[in-house]
Amino acid sequence: MKKFNEFNEALMDQGSEDKPLIKWFDEFEKVLKKAGGKYEDIKPTDMLKLYYKGVNPKNAAKQLMASYTWDKDKGEYVRIDGVK
């Protein structure tokens, strides 16, 4: 959660709320939460790559959630190898 707060604060410090990345990220976070995921479970760079490719937030969240699997031994989501 600390990473998210730092990232969110950095975005908000940039000024107006009408910035496209902020709007996209807010929607992404909502969809991710509804899907049972957490921002801390994904790599921010993976999210940004999808943003810059023009993927809508709903599809981006689904893609990133599909890129991770639950590791029972570790008790956390882990990235599936080979996902770009």
Give pLDDT tens digits for 53-66.
999 999 899 888 88
Q: Write the pLDDT tens digit of every residue in 33-55.
A: 888 888 887 889 989 999 999 99
d(CA 58, CA 26): 11
Res 11 pLDDT > 70: no
d(CA 50, CA 43): 11
d(CA 76, CA 1): 14
pTM comes to: 0.61
